[in-house]
Amino acid sequence: MTDPPDLILRGIGELVTNDPARAAAGLLGIVENAAVAIRRGRVAWAGLLEDLPDEYFDLPDLDCAGRAVVPGFVDSHTHLVFAGERGGEFARRLAGESYESILAAGAGIQATVRATRRAVRDSAAAGLIQSARLRAEHMLANGTTTVEIKSGYGLNVPTELRMLEAASAVGKLVPIDTVGTVLGAHVVPPEFADDREGYLRVVEEEMLPLLAPLARYCDVFCDAGAFTVAEARRILEAGKRYGLKPRIHAEQLAATGAALLAAEVGAVSADHLDHIDAEGAAALAAAGTVATLLPVASFSMRTPQAPARLLWDAGVTVALATDCNPGTSFVESMQFVVAVAALETGLSPAEAVWAATRGGALALEEPDKGWVGTGAVADLVILDAPSHVHIPYRPGSNLVWKVVKDGVIVVGDEPGEG
């Protein structure tokens, strides 16, 4: 493979670096009138344009004409691979039915499981790849450069396997990095309705060992109507035996104690947390578990938001993600997530942007992403706006001018422009 071309971004009106060495400039480490030099897909230098070292002067350059630049968004919680849609169910929820009652009646997640199994029967992974690829392209066009993708709509070994194969295929078809997570314990599938123990053993003994090479993490939907804390502990410990680190859907629908379990098992991330309390927040802070908040899921469910301020002020590392899925959060744009977070959860625009970039990178244990400085992966978003504040200020807009992935302009590279 040839090296990506070198590139200098000049004329950056506002550069969000998220660099702790620039903490004097605030959480986002903002540099105004900045430049970024990129070599071999990494940031070689970032700082004031007037300080740009001579050695970079002759690199090919792009004038950002005063625009803002932020690190590529890291979407650390998605269910990107699925078949079908659930618009009818969404309308029923708006008319008053609950998510839990729809699930208990065999629809909800189970409807997507039926559609996903059918798609795999009809076309192996091909149909799943095609729809997931389109969603990943939309994500990239909206500034996401890394995306976590869970299984969990197969709930049997062959379909779960196809889901994770589709997830990794997407990462080869679209210039976006993908990270796989096994979510075999999403809900109990109908054929095991009377034998939960039997299904737990399928996940532990068959699914996790077979799927481990395609994934980095093991996740469990630990909540009312899904898995108990004791069941989740079993699955997450089993995942560890196959090298899969734990992350967990916790406290979304009810207060269950799942956040304490996350801390106990050393989960990399605990996600949703709409019902977490101060004790749970303190436990996550002490364990170093990232709190991944999914504000568009709560927005779409019209339920109260997670206590983002409590978590942040307790010293928990906060990430934001889309939760992109056909049930609770059919959204691909991290910009929209930042907007809902800033408008509805009590995070400031700066905190929301940090959580959607650096927070997401930490939730996926990718230390070289989510910041801009020497050695960082050159994943950058150039906004058609003067400041990161425009992301929540103009909700629903796609403010992306160009996206740079691994040092290459992959969105907005029209000939004759720039």
Residues that bind ligand NIG (CB under 6 A): 79, 108-109, 112, 221, 249, 252, 297, 323, 325-328
Are 373 and 46 contacting, i.e. CB atoms less than 8 angstroms apart?
yes
Are 220 and 185 contacting, i.e. CB atoms less than 8 angstroms apart?
yes
What is residue 303's DSSP assignment? -
Nearer residue to ligand NIG within complex by CB, 303 or 348: 303
CA 68, distance to chain mean position in Å, is: 22
179: left (phi over 0), alpha (psi -120 to 50) or beta: beta
Cβ 43 to ligand NIG shortest distance, Å: 33
Tokens of 197: 């123990």
Cβ 144 to ligand NIG shortest distance, Å: 17
Cβ 305 to ligand NIG shortest distance, Å: 14
Cβ 325 to ligand NIG shortest distance, Å: 4
Q: β-strand 7-15 against 61-63: which pairing, if any?
A: parallel
Which of the ranges 6-14, 120-128, 195-203, 319-327 carries the binding residues for Fe ion, by CB under 5 A? 319-327
Cβ 111 to ligand NIG shortest distance, Å: 8
The residue of the chain with the least Cβ separation from ligand NIG equals 327
Nearer residue to Fe ion within complex by CB, 17 or 252: 252
Nearer residue to Fe ion within complex by CB, 12 or 301: 301
Binding partner of residue 322 among Fe ion, ligand NIG, none, CB cut-off 5 to 8 Å per kind: none
Binding partner of residue 256 among Fe ion, ligand NIG, none, CB cut-off 5 to 8 Å per kind: none
3-class secondary structure, 228: coil
Q: Binding of Fe ion at residue 323 (CB under 5 A)?
A: yes
Binding partner of residue 297 among Fe ion, ligand NIG, none, CB cut-off 5 to 8 Å per kind: ligand NIG
Q: Binding of Fe ion at residue 160 (CB under 5 A)?
A: no
d(C-alpha 248, C-alpha 258), whole Å:
8
Cβ 267 to ligand NIG shortest distance, Å: 15
Binding partner of residue 307 among ligand NIG, Fe ion, none, CB cut-off 5 to 8 Å per kind: none
Binding partner of residue 72 among ligand NIG, Fe ion, none, CB cut-off 5 to 8 Å per kind: none
Task: Report which secondary-structure segment, H or E, holds 182.
Answer: strand 177-185
Q: Given strand 73-75, what is the order of strands in its sheet?
A: 73-75, 144-150, 177-185, 217-222, 245-250, 269-272, 290-293, 318-320
Which of the ranges 9-17, 134-142, 283-291, 317-325 carries the binding residues for Fe ion, by CB under 5 A? 317-325
Q: Binding of Fe ion at residue 351 (CB under 5 A)?
A: no
Q: Residue 313 pairs with which residues in a beta bridge?
A: none
Task: Report which secondary-structure segment, H or E, holds 136.
Answer: helix 126-141
What is residue 415's DSSP assignment? T
Are 350 and 29 contacting, i.e. CB atoms less than 8 angstroms apart?
no
d(C-alpha 205, C-alpha 218), whole Å:
14
Binding partner of residue 108 among Fe ion, ligand NIG, none, CB cut-off 5 to 8 Å per kind: ligand NIG
Nearer residue to ligand NIG within complex by CB, 133 or 249: 249
Q: Residue 377 pairs with which residues in a beta bridge?
A: 42
Residues making contact with Fe ion (CB under 5 A): 323
